[in-house]
C-alpha cells in the first residue's frame, strides 16, 4: 500500500492515538537499511518541487503539528533541505502578536499561505487555535468548538484555488519525549531549545491527546487530509513524510510549461554564435 493511504486519517473516522504505534518502522529494519530509499525520496522531492515551481499551477501547504520535541524542526530540515530554497518558505505560528490577536484566528494563516508555484511549511499552524487554546481555555468553548468547521471551510477554499494541503501529526510517545528532554539537557548545543513551558505542557499530555484526536478526526478531509506519522524513530518519520509528499505530488501529473520561445530559431542563433567564436 502506498504511504499516502497507509498513514492517512480516513475522512470521517475517529482517531485513537493510543492504537497507533509511535515506534513503527513499517517494514524497514534500520536506518542504515533504509538509507537508499530515503535518498531516493529526497531526490524525487527536489525534482517535483522544481516542476511545481516551473508549472505554477499548484501550490503546496504542509502543516506540521506535534507535542514538544516531536521533531518539527527535523522534518523541516529534511524536507526543505531537499528542495531548492527558491520557492520554499517556513511560517512559524507562535503566540499571536497584538495585531494577529486583533483579527480572526485564520487571518495569519491565510496571509502565510503559499502562492502558486510555492511550497510553504507551517511550523505549527491554525490548528493551535483548537489545541493550546482549547487545553488552556484561552477562549470560551463556544468559540473554539466552532473552529473545526471554520478550519474545514478555510482549507476547502484554499484547495479550490489550487493549494494542495497535507497535514502531518508527528506522533511520539510520552516516554520518547522524556528521553528527548534528557538529550537536550545533556547537549549544550541544544540548551537554547529548552523552555520551562515544555515541561509544563507535558503535564497536559492527556488533554493535548484529546485535542489532537478531535482535530484529526474532524478535520481530515478529502481535500486536506491529516496523516499520523510514527515519529519515535526520526529517520522513519522523515522517510514517511518525504514519501507521502512525493506520492501526492506525483499524483498531480504536473508538466513543465511549453517553451514560450521558438526553440528552432534560438538553436539556429546559438549555432551561429558558436561558429563565430
* Interacting residues toward ligand ATP by CB under 6 A: 68, 73, 93-96, 123-124, 128-129, 132-133, 138, 193, 195, 197
Smallest separation, CB 129 to ligand ATP (Å): 5
Supply the minimum distance, in Å, between the C-beta of residue 6 and ligand ATP: 27
Residue whose CB is less far from ligand ATP, 56 or 124: 124
Smallest gap from Cβ 77 to ligand ATP, in A, equals 12
Residue 25, C-alpha cell as written in the block: 518502522
- Taking the complex as a whole, the smallest distance from the CB of residue 127 to ligand ATP amounts, in Å, to 9
Q: Least distance in Å: CB of 118 to ligand ATP?
A: 21
Q: Which is nearer to ligand ATP, 43 or 195 (CB)?
A: 195
Could you write out the DSSP letters of every residue in the chain?
--HHHHTB--TTPPP-GGGS-TT--TT---HHHHHHHHHHHHHHHHHHHHHHHHH-S-EEEEEEEESTTSSHHHHHHHHHHTS-STTEEEEE--SPPHHHHTS-TTHHHHHHSPPTT-EEEEES-GGGGGTHHHHTTSS-HHHHTTHHHHHHHHHHHHHHTTEEEEEEEEE--HHHHHHHHHHHHH-GGGGGG--HHHHHHHTTHHHHHHHHHHHHHHH--SSS-EEEEE-SSHHHHHHHHHHHHHHHHHHT---PPPPSS-HHHHHHHHHHHHHH-
Sheet holding 163-171, edge to edge: 88-92, 119-123, 59-66, 163-171, 226-230
Residue placing its CB nearer to ligand ATP in the complex, 8 or 124:
124
Smallest distance from ligand ATP to CB 193, Å: 6
Q: Given the complex with ligand ATP, which of 134 and 243 has the nearer CB atom? A: 134
C-alpha cell at 155: 482549507
Q: Which residue is nearest to ligand ATP (CB)?
A: 128
Nearer to ligand ATP, 196 or 276 (CB): 196
Closest CB to ligand ATP among residues 119, 132 = 132
Least distance in Å: CB of 198 to ligand ATP? 7
Q: For ligand ATP, give the closer residue by CB, 39 or 197.
A: 197
Amino acid at each position: 500500500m502506498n504511504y499516502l493511504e497507509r498513514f492517512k486519517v480516513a475522512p470521517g473516522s475517529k482517531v485513537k492515538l493510543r492504537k497507533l504505534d509511535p515506534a513503527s518502522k513499517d517494514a524497514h529494519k534500520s536506518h542504515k537499511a533504509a538509507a537508499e530509499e530515503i535518498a531516493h525520496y529526497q531526490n524525487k522531492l527536489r525534482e517535483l518541487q522544481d516542476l511545481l515551481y516551473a508549472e505554477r499551477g499548484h501550490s503546496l501547504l504542509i502543516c506540521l503539528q506535534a507535542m514538544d520535541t516531536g521533531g518539527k524542526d527535523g522534518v523541516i530540515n529534511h524536507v526543505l533541505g531537499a528542495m531548492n530554497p527558491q520557492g520554499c518558505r517556513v511560517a512559524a505560528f507562535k503566540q499571536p502578536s497584538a495585531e494577529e490577536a486583533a483579527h480572526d484566528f485564520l487571518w495569519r494563516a491565510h496571509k502565510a499561505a503559499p502562492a502558486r508555484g510555492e511550497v510553504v511549511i507551517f511550523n505549527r499552524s491554525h490548528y493551535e487555535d483548537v489545541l493550546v487554546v482549547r487545553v488552556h481555555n484561552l477562549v470560551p468553548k463556544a468559540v473554539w468548538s466552532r473552529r473545526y468547521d471554520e478550519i474545514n471551510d478555510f482549507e476547502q477554499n484554499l484547495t479550490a484555488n489550487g493549494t494542495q494541503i497535507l497535514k502531518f501529526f508527528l506522533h511520539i510517545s510520552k516516554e520518547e519525549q522524556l528521553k528527548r528532554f534528557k538529550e537536550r539537557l545533556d547537549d549544550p548545543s541544544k540548551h537554547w531549545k529548552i523552555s520551562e513551558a515544555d515541561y509544563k505542557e507535558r503535564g497536559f499530555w492527556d488533554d493535548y491527546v484529546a485535542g489532537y484526536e478531535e482535530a484529526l478526526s474532524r478535520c481530515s478531509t478529502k481535500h486536506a487530509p491529516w496523516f499520523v506519522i510514527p515519529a519515535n524513530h526520526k529517520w522513519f518519520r522523515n522517510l514517511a513524510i518525504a514519501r507521502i509528499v512525493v506520492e501526492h505530488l506525483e499524483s498531480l501529473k504536473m508538466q513543465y510549461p511549453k517553451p514560450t520561445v521558438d526553440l528552432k530559431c534560438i538553436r539556429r542563433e546559438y549555432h551561429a554564435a558558436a561558429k563565430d567564436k
